[in-house]
């Protein structure tokens, strides 16, 4: 079993009179959610995260999280780097959002928030009413995405299609009459679609989606077909000098 440690968020008010009994359960819930997201910002990371236990102790209000030492090291590195750079520009949007929310709370409530851990003797980071870190990451990014699911409605006065996906639920995609009318009727059939639009960096939700093209597909694994596609693609891939850079340059997501 991996060595265990803890991280601590110590909160005190201006009068230094705050105790655990003064902390509302909604505040406890928010702190727990923020720490989980700060350490594991994506949905997949949350699914794979280790067990984290929680306690609140006196000495102001100390929110303590007990978890593997590797997570403590990650926490130390992120908070120490914020303190060193006096900037959030190296963080992803979700982490920036959490730090910004804490500094807004410190300013509004007159709180002093210290970040500590079992590996640190001094506070790794302090946020108070004087702290002023700017969020610089965009909340959305524009890209093209591949969506797969069943089209359950198409048409309307303002032409659009509705697709039901297993990961993101039901989505509405704007389209043209020509795109909808071209080819066979697609309602209640599994389809892939290529769309352009925005994706929220905080919650992963889509907006302003527009249809680029339909992609017919059969959601059944066909190994022989895959082998043929790989064989055909291998020749052209061999011409690419830096495959990693080429893959990185692709601006589409499959969801």
Q: Are 24 and 105 in contact (CB under 8 A)?
A: no
Say what the pLDDT of residue 11 is: 96
Say what the pLDDT of residue 241 is: 73
Say what the pLDDT of residue 29 is: 96
Angle between helices 25-39 and 93-109 (to 10 degrees): 150
For the chain, 255 residues long, give each residue's pLDDT as a single digit of tens: 689 999 999 999 988 899 999 999 999 999 999 999 999 998 889 999 999 999 999 989 999 999 999 999 999 999 999 999 999 989 988 899 999 999 999 999 999 999 999 999 999 999 999 999 988 767 788 889 999 999 999 988 899 999 999 888 999 999 999 999 988 888 998 888 999 999 887 778 899 999 999 987 766 667 787 788 788 777 777 777 777 666 666 655 555
Neighbouring C-alpha atoms within 13 Å toward the C-beta of 22? 13
Say what the pLDDT of residue 74 is: 96
Say what the pLDDT of residue 255 is: 53
Say what the pLDDT of residue 175 is: 94
**Residues near 82 by beta carbon (within 8 Å), at least 6 away in sequence:** 88, 91, 99, 125, 133
pLDDT in tens, 223-232: 787 788 788 7
| Residue recorded with tokens 């990451």 | 137
Say what the pLDDT of residue 248 is: 62
CA 63, CA 31: separation in Å to the nearest integer?
8
């Amino acid at each position: 079993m991996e060595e265990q440690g803890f991280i601590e968020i110590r909160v005190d008010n201006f009068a230094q009179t705050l105790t655990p009994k003064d902390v509302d359960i909604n505040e406890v819930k928010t702190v727990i959610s923020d720490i989980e997201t700060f350490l594991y910002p994506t949905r997949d990371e949350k699914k794979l995260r280790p067990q984290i236990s929680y306690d609140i102790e006196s000495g102001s209000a100390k929110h303590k999280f007990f978890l593997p030492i590797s997570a403590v090291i990650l926490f130390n590195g992120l908070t120490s780097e914020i303190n060193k750079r006096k900037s959030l520009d190296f963080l992803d949007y979700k982490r920036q959002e959490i730090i910004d929310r804490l500094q807004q709370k410190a300013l509004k409530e007159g709180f002093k928030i210290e970040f500590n851990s079992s590996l640190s003797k001094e506070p790794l980071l302090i946020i108070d009413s004087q702290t002023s870190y700017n969020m610089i990451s965009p909340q959305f990014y524009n890209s093209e995405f591949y969506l797969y699911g069943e089209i359950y409605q198409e048409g309307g006065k303002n032409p659009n299609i509705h697709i039901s996906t297993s990961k993101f639920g039901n989505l509405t995609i704007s389209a043209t009459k020509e795109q909808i009318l071209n080819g066979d009727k697609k309602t209640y059939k599994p389809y892939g679609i290529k769309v352009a639009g925005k994706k929220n960096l905080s919650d992963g939700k889509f907006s302003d989606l527009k249809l680029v093209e339909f992609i017919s597909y059969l959601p059944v694994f066909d190994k022989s077909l895959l082998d043929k596609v790989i064989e055909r693609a291998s020749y052209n891939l061999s011409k690419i000098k830096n495959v990693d850079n080429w893959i990185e340059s692709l601006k589409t997501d499959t969801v």
